[in-house]
Each structure stands twice: as C-alpha cells, then as structure tokens.
Amino acid sequence: MDAPQQMKRLADSPHGTSRPASVRHANLSGQVMGTKGLATRKRLIAAMIRLLEAVPLREVTVKAVASAAGLSPATFYLYFRSVRECLHAAAGSVSQSTPAILEILERDWDAESGAANALALVMDHLELWEEHRTLLRVRNLAAEERDPLFMRQRRLAMDASVRAMTDLAERQQAKGDLDGAVSPVALASALFAMLDLVSAVIHVHDGKKPAAERERIAAAAYVLRAGLGCEGGAA
C-alpha cells in the first residue's frame, strides 16, 4: 500500500487513528515501526505533553513539537498528521477503567465496607489523574469543545468503569439498599461525572493545599457511598 492510500485508509476507517499504540505497527508511510520507530513516536508524544503543560492545545504547532523532540517536522508527519492526532493517540492509551478501579467496583459495598471502598475508588481515580493530568485535561477540553473524536475517547476511557458501577448499583437495588426507582446507568454516569470533575479541579481552587484536598477527597467518597446507598442517614 503506497503512502496516500495508507493515509486515506486511516482517514476512512471508522476508528480514525484512535487505535492504541500496541496494535499500530506501521507509521503513516506504511513503514512497519521497529524499536527505533516506536521510540521516535514516543519521543514526539513526550515532547507534545511537555508543551501542553504550558501552552493551550491550539497554540501547539507541529513545528514546536518536532523541535522540542529534537526532530524535524517531516519526521513528525511520518507518525501523525496533526497535533490533534498526536494527542488522540497519546490520550487513547490512558484508561480510566484500570483493573484496580474495576476490582473496587466488583466488591460488595455495604454500610460497613462502603466507606473504605468509596475512599479507595476516589483515591485510585485521582492517582490516575495525577499521573496523566496533562493528557486527561487536554482531552477533556477537546471533548468539551464537542470534538467528536475526543468525546468518544472520553466515553470509551470511562466505559468499563461506568458499566461496573452500573452492576454495583443493580446489586445494591437487589439488596434493598438503593432506591429501585433510580436508573443504575444514569446514577453511575452522574457519579463518574462528579468524580472526573473533582479530580480535574482538585488543585485549581486551593492550589496544592493537602488539607483542603483531603477534605475534598473525603467529601467525594461520602457522596459516592451515599449515592450508592451505603449511608444510613443518621451519623
């Protein structure tokens, strides 16, 4: 397959270029990427992330990314057609449905274990945010600008977590701990929406004040366990 055809195939594919790095073997010229090619691609992604830490997405140019990686723009275009595509590839590898988060959601939540489970969930989700803050933040910005590629990506990253919490809510309803009139998937989506925003802005309002952050984490955990029916009411 020659280069233009390869480009066209990528553009026409329903998945665009959203496939994770692990299944993408060829660069945009159709060359199979060896160790060196994958390393170059990683270098470009790392350079873009460094730039995004200081500059909004719209101001990050291909030229700047290439130069920050010590490469030429021509090399950049071997791997990505745009900065947006580079971001999409990088953010696509960040899942918000990690095995640790799914495991917590598969546990039995009750009045006793609910507090510890909810706190663990908030902490794990926040840790994920701390590790990938720049990528998740810029991905969310693009999703909130209604870029369909990033809206879908955000949803996919959350998908397994939302489904696991939906199952948890159903179990809570079966036990009689959670109001049967509440839609489990709507509740799971709303609680993750809350969790995502709390994680995103945890430093914005208070700066890095550990005490305020701890209170916010405890409050988010409380809302989770209350929403899922693990809170008795009186305390």
Partner 1 sequence: MSAGGSRRGRSRRTQREETQARLIDATVELLRAKSLMELAATDIAARAGLSNAAFYVYFRDVYDAVLAACARADQSPPELLAVLESPWSAATAREAAAALTAGYFAVWDTHRPVLRARNLAADEGRLEFVKARQLAVAPLAGALRRQIEAGQAAARIPRGIDPLALTNVLLALLERTGAVRHDYADLTPRWQQDYGEAVVHTLLSALGFGRPVRI
220 contacts 195 by C-beta, under 8 angstroms: yes
Q: Which of 95, 137, 149, 161 binds partner 1 (CB under 8 A)?
A: 137
Q: Which residue has the tokens 């984490």?
A: 217
Q: Which of 140, 161, 165, 168 binds partner 1 (CB under 8 A)?
A: 140
Helices (H), the chain: 3-12, 35-52, 62-68, 73-79, 83-91, 99-106, 114-131, 133-144, 148-175, 184-201, 210-227
230 binds partner 1 (CB under 8 A): yes
Half-sphere CA count of 216, side-chain side, radius 13 A: 21
44 binds partner 1 (CB under 8 A): no
CB of 147 to partner 1, least distance (A): 8
Q: Which of 70, 99, 205, 208 binds partner 1 (CB under 8 A)?
A: 205
Contact track, partner 1, 59-98, x by CB under 8 A: ----------------------------------------
- 62 alpha carbon, distance to own chain's centre: 23
Q: Considering beta carbons, is residue 95 or 196 the nearer one to partner 1?
A: 196
- Give the C-alpha distances (Å, rounded to integers) separating 106 from 62, 103, 118, 159, 203: 43, 5, 12, 15, 30
Q: Which of 82, 144, 174, 209 binds partner 1 (CB under 8 A)?
A: 144
- Residues found near partner 1 in the complex (CB under 8 A): 56-58, 111, 137, 140-141, 144-147, 151, 155, 175-177, 179, 181-183, 185-187, 189-191, 193-194, 196-198, 200-201, 204-205, 212, 215-216, 218-220, 222-223, 226-227, 229-235
